[in-house]
Amino acid sequence: MGTQQTVDAVVIGAGFGGIYAMHKLANEQGLTVLGFDRAEGPGGTWYWNRYPGALSDSESYVYQYFFDKELYQDTTWENTYLTQPEILSYLEGVVDRFDLRRHFRFGLGIAASNYDDAANQWVLTTDEGDTIRATYVVNAVGLLAAVNMPDIPGRDSFEGQLVHTARWPEGLDVTGQRVAVIGTGSTGQQVVTALGPQVSKLGVFVRTPQYSVPVGLRPMAEGEVEQYHEDFEMNREKIFGSALGFGIDEVERSLWDYSEEEREQIFTDAWNEGGGFRFMFSTFGNLAVDEDANLIAGKFIKDRIREIVKDPEAARRIMPSGLHARRPLCDNGFYETFNLPQVEAVNVTDTPIVEITATGIRTADGTHREYDVIVFATGFDAVDGNYRRMDLTGRNGVHINEVWKENPTSYLGVTTPGFPNWFMVLGPKGPFCNLPSAIEAEVEWISDAIAHARQNGIAMIEPTAEAEQKWSEHCSDLATGSVFGRVDSWIFGANIPGKKPSVLFYLGGLSAMKDLLDQEAQAGYPNLMPVQSSADMERDQPSLAAAS
């Protein structure tokens, strides 16, 4: 029989979202809060993704919290981008700085979140069977955290080491070994680039080659960090006032207004400066909406690949085609890696993987390649994956998988009807942008909504079904106009066998999202309903605005 405890709030997850939510609720509002994370410490994504080469591709001065000027100005950056150990150490530092560790139980997950209609409380069950009753639940469970481990025949018979990049064992050193990497998304590109020079043999199993540009990793120039510190307010405004939150110039100019030479120059400048989002959004304003313009950007990248990769057959195997409409990627020498004699590209569309054997990988052409280590860089069941993996029921015992049967929905990415006082950080249909900034905006809204309800004596709140439906439709409309919706990728949930593709993001941008959140709060939460009990839901309810 497990223990039982009652608190004001539970925070699930101790990454960027969970840490800030804990600070807002425990430190600022003085609530009793318990935090849980299956990891043995804080960090979220940056705790788990310890694979060689793991790097954020938002610039260092951007990939930060902005809620505390002193924290920002006390933080220093060696390079233009942050490695995984640097981000992990930053987040650990934030936890200690705000004395948050004592609220978290690490190494312990939440297996079930069930709403108790009679008590108007959430009942959460840990992996060890303990229960916690809470008035509020903040889910900061990670957008890219539910690991996708494809069930390739023979996978479990491999006698070497088989690892997923998001579960890379601390200290695993593959120097001098024979390694296979399956997958060439953002993660696969980073791990391939890092391992290429270290290993004796590297097989890169490519299924859908992607467009990538240089990241632009370099040491900070003298005085550069100090300048970012000094410009704190300006940086914050630039990031939160932009669509993407990457600190880049988001241009509106059309590619069609420039000559071929001018376009080439603009693309070359962006290529030399570095950054996947810069290449896509700071060159021309129509690459994400106009297929023909997009293909011209793609051609520029393909030309660079042909220049960089010396062996034409290797270049062919990793050559992207079609629209440049997945998450914009950037790398630190991915294409150059294929010039190393020990690196081999295997295109699994040409020659599919038939099976993993005890000693390696067999492809459809009959070739068997031997490896000591197989790395799955196969991504995540993104956005809604972690919710669906929980025993999660709202009012009247309805499971989240039932509510999200057609597609995962939300109101403003943070709440959903039927789940009172239950909030999501980076839930479905939240903004597609620099994630720490989206997290910060969402956590502040969640915390303010909770404070507002408490101040007004409202027991439970949840969005109206109408508000959610309108939000869903708006997200779908925006997705229709974008090239991103025209290719299969995790952005639309199209990377997991059996998962129904759907609109998982709000493509209207960070600043528009923040404005909408602010408007909802300033108007007194007109789209949230106060709920006293489930019976109340049967009656017409005034909105929170009317109640306050």
Q: Check residue 388 for interaction with ligand NA7 (CB under 6 A).
A: no
Q: How many chain residues interact with ligand NA7 (CB under 6 A)?
A: 21
Looking at residue 528, what DSSP letter applies? E
| Ramachandran assignment for 222, one of left (phi > 0), alpha (psi -120 to 50 degrees), beta (any other) | beta
DSSP 529-540: EEESSHHHHHS-
| Binding-site member from 88, 100, 110, 144 for ligand NA7 (CB under 6 A) | 144
Q: Closest CB to ligand NA7 among 207 and 474?
A: 207
Contacts of 255 (CB under 8 A, 6+ apart): 263, 283, 284, 286, 287, 290, 293, 296, 297
Distance CA 341, CA 337 (A): 9
Q: Closest CB to ligand NA7 among 137 and 305?
A: 305
Shortest separation between residue 405's beta carbon and ligand NA7, angstroms:
24
Shortest separation between residue 85's beta carbon and ligand NA7, angstroms:
17
| Strand 131-139 relative to strand 422-424, pairing | parallel
Distance CA 352, CA 342 (A): 21
Distance CA 544, CA 548 (A): 6
Residues 152-171 that bind ligand NA7 (CB under 6 A): 152
Q: Closest CB to ligand NA7 among 363 and 421?
A: 363
Q: Check residue 126 for interaction with ligand NA7 (CB under 6 A).
A: no
Residue labelled with tokens 């299969």: 488
Residues 451-510 that bind ligand NA7 (CB under 6 A): 490, 495
Shortest separation between residue 165's beta carbon and ligand NA7, angstroms:
6
Residues 332-371 that bind ligand NA7 (CB under 6 A): 348
Q: Check residue 286 for interaction with ligand NA7 (CB under 6 A).
A: no
Shortest separation between residue 89's beta carbon and ligand NA7, angstroms:
19
Q: Check residue 207 for interaction with ligand NA7 (CB under 6 A).
A: yes
Among the residue ranges 4-12, 95-103, 172-180, 186-194, the one whose residues contact ligand NA7 (CB under 6 A): 186-194
- Helices and strands (H, E) in the chain, number of each type: 19, 24
Tokens, residue 377: 């860089």
Distance CA 296, CA 302 (A): 10
Binding map of ligand NA7 across residues 53-92, x = CB under 6 A, - = no contact: ----------------------------------------
Coil, strand, or helix at residue 439?
helix
Shortest separation between residue 215's beta carbon and ligand NA7, angstroms:
13
Contacts of 519 (CB under 8 A, 6+ apart): none
| Binding-site member from 42, 43, 53, 183 for ligand NA7 (CB under 6 A) | 183
| Binding-site member from 84, 186, 332, 534 for ligand NA7 (CB under 6 A) | 186
Shortest separation between residue 348's beta carbon and ligand NA7, angstroms:
5
Distance CA 38, CA 44 (A): 9
Q: Closest CB to ligand NA7 among 57 and 520?
A: 57
Shortest separation between residue 385's beta carbon and ligand NA7, angstroms:
12
Shortest separation between residue 224's beta carbon and ligand NA7, angstroms:
25
| Packing angle of the helix pair 435-455, 232-240 (nearest 10 deg) | 90
Q: State the Cα torsion 285-290-291-297 to the nearest 10°.
A: -20
Phi, psi of 475 (to 5 degrees): -60, -40
| Binding-site member from 327, 369, 389, 454 for ligand NA7 (CB under 6 A) | 327
Residue labelled with tokens 């020079």: 197
| Binding-site member from 64, 84, 114, 208 for ligand NA7 (CB under 6 A) | 208
Shortest separation between residue 479's beta carbon and ligand NA7, angstroms:
17
323, 294 in Cβ contact below 8 A?
yes
CB-closest chain residue to ligand NA7: 185
489, 482 in Cβ contact below 8 A?
no
Closest CA to 162 of 372, 369, 370: 372
Q: Check residue 52 for interaction with ligand NA7 (CB under 6 A).
A: no
Residues that bind ligand NA7 (CB under 6 A): 144, 150, 152, 182-188, 205, 207-208, 327, 348, 377-380, 490, 495
